[in-house]
Amino acid sequence: MSTATLPSLSSLLSSRRPHHALPAGLYTRPDVFEADMQVFFQNHWILVGLECEIPEPGDAQVLDIGKAGLILLRDDDGQVRAFHNTCRHRGARILDAGATVISKLVCPYHQWTYEPTGELIHAPHMGVDFDKSCRSLKPVAVRNVGGLLYVCLGENPPKDIAVLQDVMEERLAPYGLRDAKVAHQVDVIEKGNWKLTMENNRECYHCVGSHPELCVTFFDLDFGFDPAAMSAEERARAEQHVADRIAREKRWEAEGFKSSHVERVIDCETNFRTQRLAINGGGESQTPDGKAACAKLMGSMTRKDLGDTHLWGHNGWNHFMGDHVVSAMVIPLTADTTLVRTKWLVHKDAREGVDYDLNRLTDVWIATTDQDADLVARSQAGVQDPAYEPGVYSPHTEKQLDNFASWYVQRMQAHGY
Ligand code: 3BY
Ligand code: FES
Ligand code: FE
């Protein structure tokens, strides 16, 4: 099909049927990918890293997000700052993607030099009248939400990030993310559109069929179920599970640990959802046997029995447990490839081989992430099939996908598509 015969993006968006998956073009077309990057990765808040990845002055993390380059660093006064990674002379990239340590930011092209505050301090051969003061690096809006770093690359960052901060700072405080370290990181490039990656992570309908390791500690029942599809015995077990969850949540809340379900998923700019859920098995952590993987607990945590505080956003998901944290961020690469970067955090003083065994810490989510990558590739292959027709979501186990697809369409339309 030539581009001229393709439906417009706005007609694709308005053709999405309520409660159904998105039309194929929204998962496959390069022009939609460009629009997605502009709307959801340039003009919404995105999760880009962790404060503990830049613990000391001069520590920097550099990331490519589509065509945009981002520098995250800690300045000499200890403040976290973010800049666009493009030189104010002729635009060259200043730092390469990855982790680095800087004292000044020196552009490799003609050595224009910037302070960690972004101020231009050295620009040789520009003449005596050259005004350096208006050529600082362009800042990027950054928010530190209890140790999770969010940026908005655009000029008008959504104000409702304040809701996320309000809800999560209190919940994250005991986990002491600032005093954590990344024990392990894995990059997986999924062969699918970023929205398929996000949809896959919002349901546990597929867990029983695909995630034997995760199912030891994860209750798929927490992600919805259809009583009508169950035997009397299964239904009784599911109802008991829900009753236990409510009782446990009340107990945790009474003990001062916020646990309730909070969601901002439609009619909002900053999409997030959080809830503290119980862990199956040993009840402590997402490990092969449910027992904590790290003897030294996170932050000020003194208990291992506080479940898993989940946090989903539109480009990532996180699990905060007593002994460790799993934080995944999603960066689209092309219409049909997506980077999923998963980090395992432990207390900064925890010693590998003494306080934790790296395999026990990472086994479950390495396996789960690989299994999810297969599912996403399978979805992408299927949605680009000419025979694909958007299917209906389960009202019981895929409600979060329905909400995500509705939010996606709403936000695209709000941005003029
Ligand atoms: O992606 C998964 O396997 C599951 C489904 C629910 C949340 N997530 C961890
Ligand atoms: Fe950076 Fe010239 S482009 S110094
Ligand atoms: Fe999965």
pLDDT of residue 281: 80
With tokens 């689209």, the residue in question is 332
Which CATH architecture does the domain made up of 174-414 adopt?
Answer: Alpha-Beta Complex (3.90)
| Chosen CATH of 47-145 out of 2.102.10.10, 3.40.50.720, 3.40.50.300, 1.10.10.10 | 2.102.10.10
- Asked if 191 contacts 335 with a C-beta cutoff of 8 angstroms, the reply is no
Nearest CA to ligand 1 atom 9: 201
Mutation choice for ligand 1 from 199, 204, 219, 370, CB with most ligand atoms inside 8 A = 204
- For CATH 2.102.10.10, the residue range(s) in the chain are 47-145
Tens of pLDDT along 27-72? 999 999 999 999 999 999 999 999 999 999 999 999 999 999 999 9
Tokens of residue 307, six digits: 């479940």
Question: By C-alpha distance, which of 231, 141, 190 is closest to 328?
Answer: 190
- Which atom of ligand 2 lies at the shortest distance from residue 88's CA? 1
Q: How far apart are CA 179 and CA 171, in angstroms?
A: 16
Q: How far is CA 384 from CA 135, 251, 390, in A?
A: 46, 48, 11
Nearest-angstrom CA–CA distance, 238 and 370 = 28
Q: Which atom of ligand 1 is nearest to the CA of 204?
A: 5
Which pLDDT tens digit goes with each residue over 101-157? Answer: 999 999 999 999 999 999 999 999 999 999 999 999 999 999 999 999 999 999 999
Measured CA distances, 126 to 89, 118, 132, 254 (Å): 10, 19, 9, 64
pTM: 0.96
**Amino acid at position 9, single letter:** L
Return d(Cα 123, Cα 134) in angstroms, integer. 12
Task: Identify the weakest region by mean pLDDT among 188-202, 242-256, 306-320.
Answer: 242-256
The pLDDT tens digits for 275-293 are 999 999 878 999 999 999 9
In whole angstroms, what is the distance from residue 99 CA to residue 184 CA?
14
Nearest to 366 by CA among 186, 220, 241: 186
CB neighbour list of residue 179: distance below 8 Å, 6 or more residues apart: 52, 299, 347, 348
| Dihedral angle sign, alpha carbons of residues 360, 337, 270, 207 | negative
Nearest-CA residue for atom 2 of ligand 1: 201
Name the residue with the closest Cα to ligand 2, atom 4: 110
Q: Start-end ranges of CATH 3.90.380.10 in the chain?
A: 174-414
Distance 254 CA to ligand 3 centre (A): 32
**Residue position matching structure tokens 């950054």:** 142
Cα 232–chain centre separation: 38
351 lines ligand 2 (CB under 6 A): no
Residue 108 CA to ligand 2 centre (angstroms): 7
- Smallest-distance ligand from the CA of 223: 1
pLDDT digits (tens, 9 = 90+) for 316-339: 999 999 999 999 999 999 999 999
